[in-house]
């Protein structure tokens, strides 16, 4: 059991070190830790079998020896009784009245021998029961250790999946900004399978899907995210994008305003609100929100272009919604 405890302690320390390492170092430990865990599980799972084999062998040997001992003792008693009976017959004439006392003494001896035999048998049976109890306790302890190790294995695998999902999400974001939206969608879907609990990954997927006019799929994602956490403004703004795409401009304006109320520094919400007001032909409000968006994020080139066009009065109002 000391070896198993040492392995468990080593595993705990390995998990603590694992959480402190950089992303690129994690995978150098994953194979080693997973190998140790699988080795420990195999060892623990084999122990009950070995204990069962040993206890069966011990019980078998004890039963054989006990039976042999009892049979030999009974045979010895019978043989001695037979010899005593024969000698009693020979001594009957010479011993006379003392024969009764001798027989009584023999009966007393026989009683003591029987009592000794019974006590010995009971002691051996109690020893067998004690061995069985130790066996059961050992099996219970091993089961507990195995359960704990299985829990560590699942925790380790969960950490591994979450780390991999985060790396895939980061790569998908880079593909998105490089204009490779289809690749980004594919990778984000893969990431959600690895970490279904990540609302950040789901929100990113929903935003890109809404930009590709896959409104129903995006709406389902945003509903799920907002049900889990109503304060995720990116998902709230994404829901506004879906409404905008489906022509519900008033609904989109209302959603964008709610997103801004939750996060006044969200440049994309101001930008999208500007495009929604443009669709309502309320150019003054559109320009006001575009200017606020650029104040927060000067890198919004699509907003910068459409704002310049409207200010110069060179177009009557076109443009695509911002991300």
Tell me the longest C-alpha to C-alpha distance in the chain. 151
Summarize the confidence of residues 261-268 as an average pLDDT. 94
182, pLDDT greater than 90: yes
**∠ CA 251-256-261 to the nearest 5 degrees?**
125
pLDDT confidence of 236, banded at 50, 70, 90?
A: very high
Q: What is the pLDDT of residues 58-93, one digit of tens each?
A: 678 767 776 787 787 678 767 866 776 677 677 556
Q: What number is the average pLDDT over the span 117-130?
A: 72
Provide the whole-model pTM.
0.52
Least confidently predicted of 74-78, 249-253, 289-293, 319-323: 319-323
Token pair belonging to 56: 């069966």
pLDDT at 22 over 50: no
43 closest CA partner among 51, 55, 54: 51
Asked whether the predicted pLDDT for residue 117 surpasses 50, the reply is yes
Of the ranges 14-28, 223-237, 304-318, the best mean pLDDT one: 223-237
Residues whose CB falls within 8 Å of the CB of residue 59, separated by 6 or more in sequence, listed in order: 128, 131, 132
| DSSP reduced 3-state for 172 | helix
More confident residue, 188 or 8: 188
Give 230-312's CATH code, choosing from 3.40.630.30, 1.20.1260.10, 1.25.40.10, 3.30.1490.20: 1.25.40.10
pLDDT of 282 reads 94
With a cut of 80, say whether residue 13 has pLDDT above it.
no
Write down the domain spans for the chain. Answer: 2-162, 230-312
Least confident piece of the model among 120-124, 161-165, 206-210, 260-264? 120-124
Q: 51: closest CA among 16, 7, 95, 1? A: 1
Q: What confidence tens digit (pLDDT) does each residue in 209-223 have?
A: 998 989 999 999 999
Is the pLDDT at 18 greater than 60? The verdict is no
Mean pLDDT of 263-284: 95
Has residue 152 got a pLDDT over 70?
Answer: no
Q: Count of alpha carbons within 13 Å of 14, Cβ hemisphere only? A: 23
pLDDT band at 119 (very low <50, low <70, confident <90, very high): confident
Are 48 and 142 contacting, i.e. CB atoms less than 8 angstroms apart?
yes
| Model pLDDT, residue 322 | 42
At 106, is the secondary structure helix, strand, or coil?
Answer: helix
- Mean pLDDT throughout 295-316? 84
Using CA atoms, how far apart are residues 51 and 161, in angstroms rounded to an integer? 36
The Cα–Cα gap between 223 and 229 comes to 10
């Amino acid at each position: 059991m000391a070896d198993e405890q040492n392995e468990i302690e080593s595993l705990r320390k390995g998990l603590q070190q694992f959480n402190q390492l950089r992303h690129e170092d994690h995978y150098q430990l994953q194979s080693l830790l997973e190998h140790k865990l699988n080795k420990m599980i195999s060892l623990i799972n084999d122990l009950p079998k070995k204990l069962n084999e040993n206890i069966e062998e011990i019980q078998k040997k004890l039963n054989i020896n006990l039976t042999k001992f009892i049979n030999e003792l009974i045979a010895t008693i019978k043989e001695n009784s037979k010899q005593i009976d024969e000698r009693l017959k020979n001594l009957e004439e010479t011993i006379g009245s003392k024969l009764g006392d001798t027989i009584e003494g023999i009966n007393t001896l026989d009683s003591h021998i029987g009592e000794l035999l019974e006590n010995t048998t009971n002691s051996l049976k109690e020893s067998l029961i004690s061995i069985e109890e130790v066996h059961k306790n050992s099996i219970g302890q091993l089961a507990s250790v195995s359960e704990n190790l299985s829990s560590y294995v699942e925790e380790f695998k969960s950490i591994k999946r979450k780390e991999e999902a985060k790396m895939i999400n980061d790569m998908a974001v880079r593909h998105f900004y490089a204009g490779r939206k289809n690749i980004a969608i594919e990778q984000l879907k893969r990431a959600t399978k690895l970490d279904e609990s990540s609302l950040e990954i789901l929100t990113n997927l929903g935003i890109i899907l809404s930009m590709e006019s896959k409104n129903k799929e995006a709406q389902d994602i945003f509903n799920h995210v907002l049900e889990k956490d109503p304060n995720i403004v990116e998902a709230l703004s994404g829901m506004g994008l879906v409404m905008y795409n489906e022509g519900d401009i008033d609904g989109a304006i209302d959603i964008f305003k709610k997103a801004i109320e939750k996060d006044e520094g969200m440049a994309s919400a101001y930008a999208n609100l500007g495009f929604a007001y443009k669709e309502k032909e309320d150019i003054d409000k559109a320009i006001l929100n575009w200017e606020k968006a650029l104040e927060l994020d000067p890198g919004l080139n699509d907003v910068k272009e459409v704002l310049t066009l409207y200010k110069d009065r060179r177009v009557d109002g076109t443009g695509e919604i911002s991300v």
